[in-house]
Homo-oligomer: A and B are copies of this chain.
Amino acid sequence: MRDIQNENDIRNIPLQKVGVKNVKYPIVVLDKVHGKQQTSATVDLFVNLPHNYKGTHMSRFIEVFHKYHQNLSMTHFLEMLDEMRKKLNAEKSFCSITFPYFIEKKAPVSESPAVMQYVCSYEACSSEDGSDFYVTIEVPIATLCPCSKAISEYGAHNQRGLVKVKVLYTEFFWIEDVISMIESCASTPLYSLLKRKDEKYVTEYAYDNPRFVEDVVREVYLGLDKMNFSYFSVEAETEESIHNHNAYAFTEKTR
């Protein structure tokens, strides 16, 4: 049977990335409390394609990923990437997976338990010379506006927001630890379940801790720096309760 992908291409244009995108797959990742967590991922898998090849073999991406999907700890993720590169005869392989990660969290006063979702991504590029591996963690928070509090007789606008950090993986860490640190930088963390006494606590706590998006990214910057990540970026986006658009701030540690 003819193998067109393997034929010669004379246009002399190498492709940086070719592969499959938006693959939906169940995966298993590590969990600090329960050991393992089964969740569902959106997956992109690419390799580079030299100028003289007409196409890549798309089915091989799924073959390799299928083999690893039940055990995607950070270290197995990199192993999978190496195998993909070799199986596709490529110089570079890329993979990104995005998945909801669930953690049980107690309300601050009543201690009622409920589950929070945090969206996470692993994103890596592997070559013979090694790999770059980034972990992205999204943490929903609330911010209470310091300007609104300062200029108003009473009240202060506050809103839900999302902090997104991207860190360069160099040694193993728990996603849970980064999430806790980020939540401590907000006007208040969010909860899935709050009884009335919790709501009072959270309302007053936020009023006592006003934060601009600018403050949130700076506080998170200090926190990540203390955790010794060699590179990271931080962004925060808040769904301003007085506008129909969002406030945004971004910073990164320069290497």
Question: Across the interface, do B117 and A248 meet the contact criterion of CB distance under 8 Å?
Answer: no
Q: Which residue of B lies closest to A155 (CB)?
A: B207
CB contact under 8 A between A23 and B218, given known A4-B147, A40-B39, A213-B18: no
Chain A interface main SS type: mixed
Cβ of A22 to closest chain B Cβ, rounded Å? 5
Instruction: Assess whether B115 is in contact with A245, with CB atoms less than 8 Å apart.
Output: no
Bound-state Cα–Cα, A193 to B67, Å: 12
| A218 engages B252 (CB within 8 Å) | no
Cβ of A16: which chain B residues have Cβ within 8 Å of it? 250-252
**Looking at chain A, what size class is its interface with the partner chain?**
35 or more
Decide yes or no: A158 and B158 within 8 Å by CB, A100-B24, A242-B199, A248-B46 being known contacts: yes
* Chain B contacts for A54, CB-based, 8 A: 212, 214-215
Contact A142 B241, CB 8 Å, known A9-B218, A66-B193, A114-B66? yes
Question: How many copies altogether?
Answer: 4
Q: How far is the CA of A168 from the CA of B118 in the complex (A)?
A: 34
Cβ of A15 under 8 Å from chain B: yes
Contact A25 B203 (CB under 8 A): no
Q: Are A242 and B18 neighbours in the complex by a CB distance under 8 Å?
A: no
Structural contact, A199 and B148, CB atoms closer than 8 A? yes
Footprint of B on A, CB under 8 Å? 1-5, 9, 11, 13-26, 38-40, 44, 46, 49, 54-56, 58-59, 62-63, 66, 69, 100, 102, 112-117, 140, 142, 144, 146-148, 150-160, 188, 190-197, 199-200, 202-204, 206-207, 212-215, 217-219, 221-222, 237, 239-252
Would you list 16 pairs from A and B whose C-beta atoms are within 8 A, ordered by A residue?
Answer: A17-B251, A18-B249, A23-B192, A24-B117, A40-B117, A49-B214, A62-B114, A66-B115, A66-B193, A69-B115, A116-B244, A142-B157, A142-B242, A147-B199, A159-B160, A191-B242
